Homo-oligomer: A and B are copies of this chain.
Amino acid sequence: MNAKPNYLADIQATTDVVVFTIEDKTLKVLLVQRDEEPFINHLSLPGGFLHKREKSSEAALRVLKDKAKVRNVFSEQLYTFDDPKRDPRGQIITVAYFALVPANKLLSVRLAKNTAIQSVKETKGLAFDHDEILNYAVKRMRTKLGYSNVAYSLLPKLFTLSQLQEVYEVILGHPVDKRNFRKKIMSLGIIEPTNQKLTGQKHRPALLYKFKKHSYTELEEPIF
């Protein structure tokens, strides 16, 4: 590139990823403790600088692989945060993503030092503008749940209808009527029963279901 005029910004770009999971009937987020300035020792969203010849979506997958140790989960661009004051090091814009991960895929990262998986409700005081990014992601995910099959990415491959309902209740933040929920979900045709049952619980064995597609699909009519 030619020398650029002085009024143009000197930019660096990062990607930060909001990794959601559900555990103990609670919406949780993966956080990492920063080991350098700025915001040393603060919790932050996992992220990193954009590499040469890399798209932000590729950077997000890299962050998911390196910092959350997961692959093949739903992730999507959320929003770009670019307040020039958001990072004391300079004009650093972040293309934020969010991802949905079943809790059983986070077992290995849970053991990592400097990593926390904590309740979204109890999370504040994150580094940079990461509180704002997290809030934005919660809203987007709530909306998305209503018009897509995206819950597939929060559940194990096989799940009961109670587990599916729990995902909806936890994200929406309120109970849903069991009968209406089941009727609606079945009418959408996005899940199907298997011939297996969940046993070893205190209740009677419950039929296990699976999503027909393990890729993001928008529904023809909204769920609520």
Chain A residues within 8 Å of B, Cβ to Cβ: 1, 4, 7-13, 49-56, 77, 79-80, 82-84, 89-91, 93, 95, 222
Partner pick for A80 among B54, B84, B95, CB 8 A cutoff: B95
User: How many Å from the CB of A79 to the closest CB on chain B?
Assistant: 6
Other than A9-B53, A11-B12, give 6 A-B pairs with Cβ distance below 8 A.
A8-B52, A9-B50, A11-B50, A13-B93, A54-B84, A56-B80
Determine if B77 and A56 form an interchain contact, defined as CB atoms under 8 angstroms apart: no
A9 proximity list for chain B (CB < 8 A)? 12-13, 49-54
Complex CA gap A91/B59 in Å reads 14
Contacts of A51 in B (CB 8 A): 7-9
A4 and B12 in contact (CB under 8 A), knowing A56-B93, A77-B80, A80-B77? yes
8 residue pairs from A and B, CB less than 8 Å apart = A1-B12, A8-B50, A8-B52, A9-B53, A11-B50, A53-B84, A56-B80, A56-B93
Is A1's CB under 8 angstroms from B95's CB? Answer: no
Whether A89 contacts B55 in the complex (CB less than 8 A), given A9-B49, A11-B50, A49-B8, comes out as no
A7 contact set on B, CB distance < 8 A: 51-52
Give the secondary structure class of A's interface.
loop
Bound Cα distance A12, B77 (Å): 19
Kindly list chain B residues whose C-beta atoms are within 8 Å of the C-beta of A50. Answer: 8-9, 11, 82, 91
Given contacts A8-B50, A12-B11, contact A90 B1 (CB under 8 A): yes
A92 and chain B: residue at smallest CB distance: B1
A54 to B86, alpha carbons, bound, how many Å?
12
In angstroms, Cα B9 to Cα A56, docked, is 11
- In the bound complex, what is the Cα–Cα distance between A12 and B91 (angstroms)? 11
Q: How far is the CA of A21 from the CA of B159 in the complex (A)?
A: 47
* Partner among B4, B56, B222 whose Cβ is within 8 Å of the Cβ of A82: B56
9 shortest A-B CB distances, which residue pairs? A80-B80, A9-B50, A53-B84, A11-B13, A11-B11, A9-B52, A1-B90, A56-B82, A8-B49
